[in-house]
Amino acid sequence: MAQIIDGRAIAREVLARTADEVAAMVAATGQAPGLAVILVGHDPASEVYVGRKVGQCRKAGIRSIEHRLPETTPEADLLALIDTLNADPAVHGILVQLPLPRAIDAGRVLDRIAPGKDVDGFHPVNVGRLSTGTGGLVPCTPLGIMMLIDTVIDDYRGLNVCVIGKSNIVGKPVSMLLLEREATVTVTHIETRDLPDIARKADIIVAAAGAPHLVRGYWVKPGAVVIDVGINRVTDPDGTTRIIGDCATHELDHARAVTPVPGGVGPMTIACLLANTVKAAKTAAIA
């Protein structure tokens, strides 16, 4: 029977450590880290995500500054707000909730955030630092994935890893983090030829393709660790909607360890966002 990697429990540990760091910073400086969250429009899923992030900030003692803007906000106004937040020393992290309205260029907006306040880790400067192993803020989901794998693997040297998905948010950055640990990484996607054969050779599979139950039991060799990043909404014949991952977890009893969906990678993303905010605040304090 495969071990279930409990992302909720590990996220609670990360949040507890973050709260301790925040308390220490407040005791030493009198100032809590500040995270500015910008939401443009009223996308229902984004509303939920922002609410969760703000709630966890409050629990950890991080000062949360919300900016909720109408759908019709001009791009120039959003960029001006980011400029103001970049210049505010009490704001240590800036998060722009995606997706943005179609009239706004998301790339231009994300590039406007100061790299030192880019707690999502999407700015080209942070991407470059990650690719060269020279520090910076790491994207939250890949950072959380590494924490999950760390609970079952101590030494990555020489291990074969199959990353399924090549996005800038998960696939590419997690592959670079794994390379830093001396793993041998193959980055694939749903168009990769002979993908099941490649996956079967892997000691670790990170599935982030956004394809429901793409990874079947026969894709996974005995003893492999499987990290399921997928969040896919499916509707059953009776009309019930549920969330499933990219992996057919019910077929993976022969794996060493797997992450569930929900309750695996998802909780780690918010926990790492808060950890990045504290990291940004500490870096700013010594700059």
What amino acid positions are annotated as catalytic residues?
53, 97, 120
Cα separation, 210 vs 58, whole angstroms? 31
- Element spanning 9, H or E: helix 7-29
Residue 187 near residue 166 (C-beta atoms within 8 A): yes
187 phi and psi angles, rounded to 5 deg: -95, 120
Closest CA to 61 of 287, 284, 277, 283: 277
- Structural contact between residues 219 and 248, judged by C-beta atoms closer than 8 angstroms: no
Q: How far is CA 284 from CA 54, 65, 85, 277, in A?
A: 22, 18, 14, 11
Give 228-237 contacts, CB < 8 A, sequence gap 24+: 228/258, 228/259, 228/260, 228/261, 228/264, 228/265, 229/141, 229/145, 229/165, 229/170, 229/265, 230/261, 231/261, 231/262, 231/266
Q: b/e per residue, 184-198, with b = 16+ CB within 10 A?
A: ebebbeeebeebeeb
- 3 state DSSP class of 271: helix
Rg of the Cα trace of the chain? 19
66 forms beta bridges with: 37
